[in-house]
Amino acid sequence: MPKKTKETERNNNLPEAPAREQPITETIEKNYMPYAMTVIISRALPEIDGFKPSQRKLLYTMYKMGLMTGNKVKSTNVVGQTMRLNPHGDAAIYDTLVRLTRGNETLLHPFVDSKGSWGKQYSTDMVCAASRYTECKLDKFCAELFDGIDKNAVDMVDNFDNTMKEPTLLPTTFPNILVSPNAGIAVGMACKFCSFNLAEICDGTIELLENPYTDCDKLLDIIKAPDFAGGGYLLYDRAQMLNIYKTGTGSFKLRAKYRYDKSANCIDVLQIPYSTSIELIMKSISELVKSGKVKEITDFRDETDKNGLKLTIDIKRGTDPDKLMAKLYKLTPLEDSFACNFNLIIGGAPYTLGIDGILKEWIKFRMECVKRQLTYDKAKKEDKYHLLIGLSKILLDIDKAVRIVRGTENEADVVPNLMRGFDIDEKQGEFIAEIKLRNFNKEYILNRIKEIEDLDKDIKELASIISSDAKVKKYIVKQLKTIKEKYGMPRKTEIVYNSTVDEYDDTKEVENYNCHVILTKEGYFKKNTLVSLRASDEQKFKDDDYIVCSEDCENIDSLLFFSDKAQVYKAKVDDFEPVKASLLGDYIPAKLSFDEGENVVFMKVIKKYNETDNFLFVFENGKCAKVPVSSYETKSNRKKLSNAYSDSSPIASIVFLDEDKDVFIGTDQNRAIVVNTSLISQKSTRTSQGITVLKNKKNEKTAYATERIDAVLGEDGSKGFRKNKIPAPANPFGKRINAQMKKIFRG
């Protein structure tokens, strides 16, 4: 135990410091914001050179290790050396290295030439070997990353412990940001870059350099679409792709490539979407086979070997392989989406840019690099030119130079004496003094000063390029053409137009037959086959329940259920089992998972979302809105749509209109009106409040609407609803209906 002293006893008796409450805003600003900014700027998002800091530090370390040439070295050596710049642990550094290698097959143009087992991008089970077993060196392609890095092309800063310098960016001679795929998750933002074909990117950049006003539409003709190392098919939608090129966000679909082996009656999947893995695909196929949704497959297995990826699917005899693959594309990750988010760091701040914006920013960056590199070369040539001018002066009197050197007693006086003797400066004097005695002859000096004319020409040419943006752009264009010729490759991902793709239609798998559907006031739904109705058509309901909607349909049709909470629920007729007329059927709020307290008010069978068909929404405040049926069509298979109609007033009734017709609208105080729906204009938005059709009196509300005038009146003007088993609303005219009214109501 520590020995107690008077000082420790005195400290123990001191009162505790009062706790200070720290506002949450102050906590976030002081404690969390620095961390968030570090993750955004220095970890997760790439910069204009196309690299995250971890990737840049690794490649620069390998460059300084001399791995552009020579033999491969153990990866563990590279990892250890990289920790001088990136102190985040060897595992994180090695993971970064793996992704940059040729063996991992992540990049179209790998930066690291590798040897050993490096795993595969398309597999989660095929992991890389430990760093002590693998070997690597920089690929020749990396020469384009470091061009000018030793000529002040980019800024150099101290590393984390100030023991060495590292570049803030790499002076890439091509837009690597769009050639290498990249993804990262920062704090409050993320990025996901797809890769593009190097040759197409070079052509697109050249077009922008030569014509800065080129728009995205023209760029899309040059840079046709993303290109991935894994190949596959890209489902091309020009409007969708143009949006990505303009905004930097959006998605497109990728499909696997396959071939059918007729002799073995199997399908070989040879390329899969970049965004998925072979294990995920196999798991999805396994679930489909077990559930019975795919019955055409007898077996499937992973036959990937040193020749590349291969997923073999054995199929039953008589199965159409193309139709089966269309089905698997729909139901498995053999077709997958790639979501783009071109978020990158420029000048220390994050920006989301489209293709043209990124290329323009890269051009600015590259022009600055070229100017700095050429300025460095110009300075070196000027230094040499200056020294040779001094050397040329002693050519006129070599003997004098020898006498000055021989006659100088102290070594420190040699340079000053030469400076006075030939009217040269200190640098020139040092240069002349360092010349060997054997070279103090006319032949040597003449050979050296021959370069003066060429140096003067080079200096003037470099100065003219540096001072002219147009010449700098021509310089970059020349480099890009060389890179395209040297490293350009054909596309690996094949472009397929959506119009030529056969989509799987799951309705073809549904058994189709005619049936009759019924919805009751209490929310019960029945699907009756015509056979069962012929046997017994007497419907059973709960007490005081009755039919509100009934239609003949087919089993492949769709259903829309409108609720009293301004929501519509979508379903298929096939989702419901056929029942006998003597049963109550399915309770819709429970079957379709309605919100608590929500009730169904209307049902409609939909065969096709025709623009000419409409729903007429009649509200309790006397207003009516006519909304096209096509407004309820969705591209995705959504089961629920909010804001199905206006909720500014409770719904009184919904009427389906396949054409304009007379509609009978009545109130709860025995007043009514007949309106032809052609007088009500169609609204493009579902939530339109409509127009006033029936002006309610005080404490009155619109109660019902129907297109069935006979249901309202009947033969005697009062029995229509009872005849049709529908409770009659209060007849607004009672027995006083005259012949003229009957004529109007019956059309």
* Catalytic residue annotation: 133
The CA-CA-CA angle for residues 687, 689, 695, to 5°, reads 160
What is the Cα–Cα distance from 266 to 303, expressed in whole angstroms?
13
Q: How many CB atoms lie within 10 A of CB 23?
A: 8
What is the Cα–Cα distance from 275 to 268, expressed in whole angstroms?
19
Phi, psi of 663 (to 5 degrees): -125, 135
Identify which of 400, 355, 54 has the alpha carbon closest to the alpha carbon of residue 218: 355
What is the Cα–Cα distance from 514 to 512, expressed in whole angstroms?
7
What is the Cα–Cα distance from 253 to 235, expressed in whole angstroms?
5
| Long-range pairs for 608-613: beta carbons < 8 A, 24 or more residues apart | 609/633, 612/658, 612/659, 613/656, 613/657, 613/658
DSSP bridge partners of 344? 351
Q: How far is CA 608 from CA 460, 508, 604, 632, in A?
A: 74, 16, 12, 11
DSSP bridge partners of 191? 184
The answer to whether 259 and 269 have CB atoms below 8 angstroms apart is no
Give the sign of the dihedral formed by CA 138, CA 141, CA 143, CA 149: negative
What is the Cα–Cα distance from 285 to 267, expressed in whole angstroms?
13
- Determine the 3-state secondary structure of 501 from DSSP: coil
The answer to whether 560 and 604 have CB atoms below 8 angstroms apart is yes
